[in-house]
Amino acid sequence: MSLAEPIEMVKPILIPIIDRLTGRAKRIAAAEIALGYGYGGQTFVAAELMMSRNTVRKGIQEIQSGEEIEDEFYLRGRKKTIEELPQLEDQIKTILDSQSQADPKFQTDRLYTDLSVDEIRKQLIKRYGYMDDALPTNRTLNTILNELKYTLKTVKKTEPIKKVPETELIFDNLNRIHEIAMEDDEIVRLSIDTKDRVKVGNFSRGGKSRVEVKASDHDFGDDYIVPFGIMDVKKKTAEIYLSESKVTADFMVDRLDEYWVQYGYAGSGKVLLLNADNGSENSSSRTQFIKRMIQFSIDNNTEVILAYYPPYYSKYNPIERVWGVLEQHWNGALLDSKETIHNYIETATYDTKHLIAEIIDTVYKTGVKVGDQAMQIYEKALSRMAGLEKWFVRISPNKCMDALAFTGCFY
């Protein structure tokens, strides 16, 4: 016997009750009514409850089989662009890597670039062979860039006030070398830099904290600690070394040497591509730094490429982004000891990876130089790029050993 007529009579009461159900419970209730209604029951229930007849059929199948059919909500809707184009984020990062800079005041960890979305789209097509209609819309690209913490505008306060004539050519070569490194697993790209010294003490740094803390009303004091960082650009990892004295050329190369050995690169045949800002202690004209890097190349049987950023553009050096993360992480904190600073560093993350910190107690002698006569010999071990001799230097262990053989000046 059909239940069509009784259902019609109680419909004003029954339908609102069922409509308040959700998921499988609603589906089963709808299926029960459809089965009792008889012919046309699926259409009737679907119309009254404003649901799909397929949903009603699914409920009937569950009743008849006695088994619950799992809802596959994850299959519904459009896939995210990153699921359809899994390499897109890394490709965008590669394009923007040498064309983005950190905030010089470290008030944010976002990166600034003057590349427009249209220009990024053109470079994706040119470099990676995309068809224009295979890429997402500019609006979606802009959303991806925001999620990657890129800000598509030139910020006035970050514009360099000076520019050497070679700047554009330097960046052209940096972009080319970095793109090669990204594709070559035999190249380890490291970025190094020394951060401004951090004052140690019970001083306010102008930040905010959820925990009430009281700082001294004056920031007098002579205790400082100087962070030196080594960042693996491809792996997005960074190690920070804390020195109570000046970070010298010897300090830097000692840390690089320890790092290279620790991660198993010594004697591995890997090439070291080293980004730096041509500072006073690590420039290609700093004799002690060059001497020590030649020694590093020979000791580890490692080819080294020194690739410097031009003056006034140090914020493009990737390690600078880690300094921005640190400033954001510990603002509002009282950095009252070097141990406190160490602990804050190790609780910070860059690209979801925790930073590693180490306190170096060794005090290095400052002002160490190599004599002119010895430096002339060391220069024979180097290959400097024509026209950009200060910015790109190649150090080959074999050429170094040949140039320094029988001179007695190396050790």
Residue 236 has pLDDT above 80, yes or no: yes
Distance of CA 298 to CAs 267, 368, 395, Å? 10, 21, 9
Residue 76 has pLDDT above 70, yes or no: no
Distance of CA 284 to CAs 247, 291, 374, 384, Å? 16, 10, 16, 10
pLDDT digits 0-9 by tens, 270-279 = 999 999 998 8
Domain layout of the chain by residue ranges? 4-74, 78-159, 162-404
Give the DSSP letter of residue 244: S
What's the CATH architecture for 162-404?
2-Layer Sandwich (3.30)
pLDDT digits 0-9 by tens, 333-349 = 667 688 888 888 899 88
What share of residues in the chain are helix, strand, coil (percent, to 5)? 45, 15, 40
Percent of the chain past pLDDT 90, that is, above it, reads 36
Inter-helix orientation angle 319-330/338-347, to 10°: 110
pLDDT digits 0-9 by tens, 238-283 = 999 999 899 999 999 999 999 999 999 999 999 999 999 988 999 9
Quickly state the pLDDT bin for 9 (edges 50, 70, 90): low
| CA atoms of 327 and 323, how far apart (whole Å) | 6
Tokens of 27: 């589906």
Tokens of 218: 């004056």
| CA atoms of 193 and 230, how far apart (whole Å) | 7
Helix (H, G, I), strand (E, B) or coil at 246: coil
Quickly state the pLDDT bin for 194 (edges 50, 70, 90): very high
Q: Which of 133-137, 146-150, 226-230, 403-407 has the lowest mean pLDDT?
A: 403-407
pLDDT average, residue stretch 358-380:
92
CB of 110 within 8 A of CB of 151? yes
- More confident position, 84 or 184: 184
Mean residue pLDDT across the chain: 81
The three-state (H, E, C) secondary structure of 99-135, written as one string: HCEECCCCCCCCEEECCCHHHHHHHHHHHHCCCHHHC
Residue 147 has pLDDT above 60, yes or no: yes
Residues in the chain: 411
Distance of CA 14 to CAs 5, 7, 22, 42, 302, Å? 13, 8, 15, 16, 80
Quickly state the pLDDT bin for 131 (edges 50, 70, 90): confident
CB of 197 within 8 A of CB of 226? yes
Outline where 210-350 has alpha helix (H).
Answer: 249-262, 287-300, 319-330, 338-347
Closest CA to 98 of 277, 318, 323, 305: 318
Residue 304 has pLDDT above 90, yes or no: yes
pLDDT average, residue stretch 51-65:
84
CB of 167 within 8 A of CB of 310? yes
Quickly state the pLDDT bin for 102 (edges 50, 70, 90): low
CB of 398 within 8 A of CB of 281? no
- More confident position, 19 or 119: 119
| CA atoms of 376 and 397, how far apart (whole Å) | 17
